[in-house]
């Protein structure tokens, strides 16, 4: 699903946000990306959803080398991905339904199909009864669930989340993480960037650790994996 070969990203002349990153994420896998603030987690995600281009190296997503992808093809590859942010990025003047429907609008879906999909996806995150509410009327956890619903409404094969629980209390964070696990169980590859180690430990998924733009020795990650896997799985409901 995702392959990175010696990927580097440099801002300006001296600052390496990422240096020589290589890893592989299999289809259907759930991977955490962790590390302290400024480690390069968000930069890595931005490279994956093609908001940035790498300074060096190759990135393959869904079998396509995104470094050589023509600009005109990027939207079509993005349609196979969903992205969730820490600050939800919902549009305040649109209702929950409109927040989800407007992204389908641009894909040319019929109105009836938009409604059907929006309803289904909101039901999946348990918010179908709030379709006509505005984001401000929702709690942080509910807003993040809407953002997740929006990210998966086009049934992406890859879901990228950048600190999706960063603004939430532990209970809500767990709720959100449960949703990601559910989505992953249905077959979507999930990559979550977080610095919440407790969450990672409890979820027990594969973890990539970034520090100062470099990926920790994969062997070290592997060594720590049994410990991580011992952690109890989150209940799904």
Q: Which positions lie near another protein, rule CB under 8 A?
A: 42, 45-46, 49, 51, 71-72, 75-79, 81, 83, 85, 89, 91, 93, 102-103, 105-108, 150, 154, 162
Structure tokens at 125: 């995150």
Contact between 221 and 228 (Cβ < 8 Å): no
User: Which tokens sit at 11?
Assistant: 């801002």
Considering the complex, what minimum distance in angstroms separates the CB of residue 203 from another protein? Answer: 23
Least distance (Å) between residue 235 CB and another protein: 31
Within 13 Å and on the Cβ side, how many CA atoms surround 212? 1
> Closest Cα partner for 227 from 198, 197, 201, 192?
201
The least CB distance from residue 102 to another protein, in Å, is 7
Residue 96 or 228 with smaller CB distance to another protein: 96
Nearer to another protein (CB atom), residue 34 or residue 42: 42
Q: Which is nearer to another protein, 89 or 116 (CB)?
A: 89
Residue 75 beta carbon to another protein: minimum distance, rounded to whole angstroms? 5
Is residue 37 within 8 A of residue 195, CB to CB? The reply is: yes
Please report the DSSP string for 153-219 in residue order.
TT--SEEEEESTTTTS-HHHHHHHHHHHHHHHHTT-EEEEE---HHHHHHHT-EEEEEETTEEPPHH
Strands of 158-162's sheet in order across = 81-85, 158-162, 189-193, 30-34, 206-211, 214-215
Closer residue to another protein (CB): 58 or 80 = 80
DSSP string across 86-143: TT----TTS-HHHHHHHHHHTTT--HHHHHHHHHHHHHHTT-GGGTTS-GGGS-HHHH
Whose Cβ is closer to another protein: residue 150's or residue 201's?
150
Q: Which is nearer to another protein, 77 or 225 (CB)?
A: 77
In the bound complex, what is the minimum distance in angstroms from residue 103's beta carbon to another protein? 4
Q: Tell the smallest beta-carbon distance from residue 111 to another protein (Å).
A: 8
């Amino acid at each position: 699903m995702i392959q990175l070969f010696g990927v580097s990203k440099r801002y300006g002349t001296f600052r390496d946000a990422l240096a020589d990153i290589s890893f592989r994420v299999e289809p259907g896998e759930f991977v955490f990306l962790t590390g302290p603030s400024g480690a390069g987690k968000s930069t890595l995600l931005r490279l994956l959803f093609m908001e940035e281009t790498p300074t060096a190296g190759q990135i393959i997503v869904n079998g396509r080398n995104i470094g050589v992808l023509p600009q005109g093809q990027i939207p079509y590859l993005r349609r196979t991905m969903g992205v969730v942010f820490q600050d939800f990025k919902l549009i305040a003047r649109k209702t929950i339904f409109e927040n989800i429907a407007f992204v389908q609008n641009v894909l040319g879906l019929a109105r009836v199909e938009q409604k059907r999909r929006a309803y289904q996806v909101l039901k999946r995150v348990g918010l179908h009864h709030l379709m006509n509410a505005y984001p401000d009327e929702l709690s942080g956890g509910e807003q993040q669930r809407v953002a997740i619903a929006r990210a998966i409404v086009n049934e992406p094969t890859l879901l990228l989340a950048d600190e999706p629980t960063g603004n939430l209390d532990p209970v809500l964070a767990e709720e959100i993480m449960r949703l990601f696990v559910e989505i992953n169980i249905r077959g979507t590859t999930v990559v979550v960037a977080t610095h919440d180690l407790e969450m990672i430990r409890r979820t027990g998924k594969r973890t990539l650790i970034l520090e100062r733009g470099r990926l920790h020795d994969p062997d070290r990650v592997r060594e720590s994996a049994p410990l991580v896997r011992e952690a109890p799985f989150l209940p799904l409901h």
